[in-house]
Amino acid sequence: MRAELADFRVVEQLGFEPDNDGPHTWLNVRKLGATTPWVAKQLAEHCGIAVRDVGYSGLKDRHAITEQWFSVPLPADDSRLQAGEIAPDVEIVARVPARRKLKRGTHRGNDFELIIRDTALTDNTLAARIDAIRRDGFPNYFGPQRFGREFGNLGLADRAVRGQKLRGPKREYAISAARSFLFNGFVGQRVAERLLLDWQEGDRASLDGSRSHFSVDLDDPDLMSRTANGDIHPSATLWGREGSLLAGPAANREQALIRELGKEAWCDWLERGRSTSMLRPVRVRASALTYQYDAANARLRLQFGLPAGSFATALLAEIVDVRDVRAHSRVSSNT
């Protein structure tokens, strides 16, 4: 994966139209091999404004070619906002007037186009895995990039739990990594117990395409059909001040896994912090999932859309088993 930057392409989808009027400008920016915060800094320097005044909705992959929206508090006719390159491999491709700064988490999702090289899949295996994902979705794990290089953000969490004072971004990275690690554990637990698409007492449902959640009635005759159709998804807790947001047996399962992982101190630390407990669906469905497989060259091209906050790497893990790659005799040195 990502043998070349062009193998991983991401296009952010806002899901709504900008105001087309106002004192701000939203900029569609194409970047190659750069992080979103780094691009925000380049925009600030280019426009002569503070980096805190640059807005964006989501963090995009560094090792990729991506298009995403940024905002700056300048009118659209400002000469500094003309289309073109503003830094190495950073280019403004479109601009739209807007009334306000772009806020985090406001986009609908992202469209992906990926090339995976040196796979060892048979046509039948690939077709079966794709069909299963189209039908049932896949586990909504946080991807490894959430945990930092060599999982260093989990080390930050351990240091914070032991009493080391972390400030600024390091503290935020530690909190995010700890919450994500625990959530991934809850998802893995449900996968192992075949509860990714099933329900138990105390569960809460996430309504697809929204941030709405509600308690479920296990006797509801429409519960399983709505789950199969992707209208609702079982949820797990993103740990915060309130602890588990599930109830009864479902909450007890989360607590039991925390004890099994030996992460009680992590939860105590998160509960003393400022982060509010949240619910996140444990499965996600890809939209418009298509693929082309060149078996002779062991090259797989995937195209699909995901809602904001879900990870393409989690989908890939359901398609290309790492054991397939390790067993393949033609794995290239640059993959």
Q: What pLDDT, on the 0 to 100 scale, is given for residue 18? A: 87
pLDDT in tens, 312-331: 999 999 998 654 443 333 33
Q: Please state the rounded mean pLDDT for residues 51-69.
A: 95
Which token pair is 164?
A: 């080391």
Q: Please state the rounded mean pLDDT for residues 66-85.
A: 96
Q: What pLDDT, on the 0 to 100 scale, is given for residue 323? A: 46
Q: Which residues are catalytic?
A: 61
Residue 311, CA distances (Å) to 46, 59, 172, 283, 317 in order: 31, 11, 19, 11, 10
Residue 72, CA distances (Å) to 20, 26, 27, 110 in order: 14, 7, 8, 22
Q: What pLDDT, on the 0 to 100 scale, is given for residue 119? A: 87
Q: What is the mean pLDDT of the chain?
A: 93
Closest C-alpha to 161, from 270, 260, 261, 276: 270
Q: Please state the rounded mean pLDDT for residues 302-313.
A: 96
Under DSSP, the state recorded for 141 is: P
Under DSSP, the state recorded for 100 is: S
Q: What pLDDT, on the 0 to 100 scale, is given for residue 5? A: 87
Residue of higher predicted confidence among 18 and 303: 303
Give the span between the Cα atoms of 58 and 60, in whole angstroms: 6
| Identity at 20, one-letter amino acid code | N
**At a CB cut-off of 8 Å and minimum separation 6, what does 239 contact?**
178, 179, 182, 183, 266, 267, 270, 271, 275, 277
Q: What pLDDT, on the 0 to 100 scale, is given for residue 322? A: 54
Q: How many CB atoms lie within 10 A of CB 193?
A: 11
Q: Is the pLDDT of residue 334 over 70?
A: no
Give the span between the Cα atoms of 275 and 179, in whole angstroms: 10
Percent of the chain with pLDDT over 70: 96
**At a CB cut-off of 8 Å and minimum separation 6, what does 236 contact?**
183, 186, 187, 190, 246, 254, 279, 280, 282
Least-confidence region, from 67-76, 113-122, 265-274:
113-122
Q: What pLDDT, on the 0 to 100 scale, is given for residue 223? A: 97
Q: What pLDDT, on the 0 to 100 scale, is given for residue 3? A: 83
The answer to whether residues 314 and 124 touch, using CB atoms and an 8 Å cutoff, is no
Under DSSP, the state recorded for 102 is: P
Q: What are the strands, taking DSSP E only, across 99-240?
A: 109-117, 138-139, 204-207, 213-215, 232-238
pLDDT level of residue 332 (50, 70, 90 thresholds): very low
Residue of higher predicted confidence among 280 and 62: 280
The answer to whether residues 120 and 43 touch, using CB atoms and an 8 Å cutoff, is no
Closest C-alpha to 49, from 17, 78, 25, 72: 72
pLDDT in tens, 130-176: 999 999 999 999 999 899 889 999 999 999 999 999 998 899 999 99
Q: Please state the rounded mean pLDDT for residues 106-113.
A: 96
Give the span between the Cα atoms of 157 and 215, in whole angstroms: 31
0.75 surpassed by pTM: yes
Q: What pLDDT, on the 0 to 100 scale, is given for residue 1? A: 81
Q: Please state the rounded mean pLDDT for residues 84-100.
A: 95
Residue 176: enclosing H or E segment and its boundaries? helix 168-192
Give the span between the Cα atoms of 114 and 5, in whole angstroms: 10
Q: What pLDDT, on the 0 to 100 scale, is given for residue 205? A: 98
pLDDT in tens, 223-281: 999 999 999 999 999 999 999 999 999 999 999 999 999 999 999 999 999 999 999 99
The answer to whether residues 196 and 283 touch, using CB atoms and an 8 Å cutoff, is yes
Q: What pLDDT, on the 0 to 100 scale, is given for residue 228? A: 96
